[in-house]
Amino acid sequence: MIKKAVEVSVYGADQLCPSCVNLPSSKDTYEWLEAAISRKFPNQPFTFSYVDIFNPPNDKSKRRFAKKIIDEDLFYPLVLVEDKIVGEGNPRLKTIYHELEKYGYKAE
């Protein structure tokens, strides 16, 4: 049983990650993930957010994490389920689905 909507966050930028040439943009990845997760787990609550690492929102934790991505040269888009990194650069749906199932999500 799902107790609360899990937050899926995608951190990225308009420019592609230097190591991620030929991959979809961060925003394209965000839209693709939102659609894929919503299809896999229909009628189950989620919160999806996109964070531009060079212009993060006024949320302290999101700003801190965006700075970490830049400072540590992490690959983006970077995907978090709650506060756990589940994808970096070219995220895998199977890994993200597996993490969501730990929170009680069931495929339909």
**Farthest CA pair distance, the chain:** 41
Q: Give the pLDDT confidence score for residue 7 in this predicted structure.
A: 95
- The predicted model gives 5-24 an average pLDDT of 81
Residue 24 has pLDDT above 80, yes or no: yes
**Is residue 86's pLDDT more than 80?**
yes
Q: Where are the beta strands (DSSP E) in the chain?
A: 6-12, 46-52, 78-81, 84-88
Q: What is the C-alpha separation between 29 and 79, in angstroms, rounded? A: 9
Q: In which element (H, E) is residue 62 found? A: helix 60-71
Q: Which domains does the chain have, with CATH numbers?
A: 6-101 (3.40.30.30)
Q: State residue 27's pLDDT score.
A: 92
Question: How distant, in Å, are the alpha carbons of 32, 77, 83 from that of 80?
Answer: 15, 10, 6
Confidence of residue 73 (pLDDT cuts 50, 70, 90): confident
pLDDT in tens, 29-39: 999 999 999 99
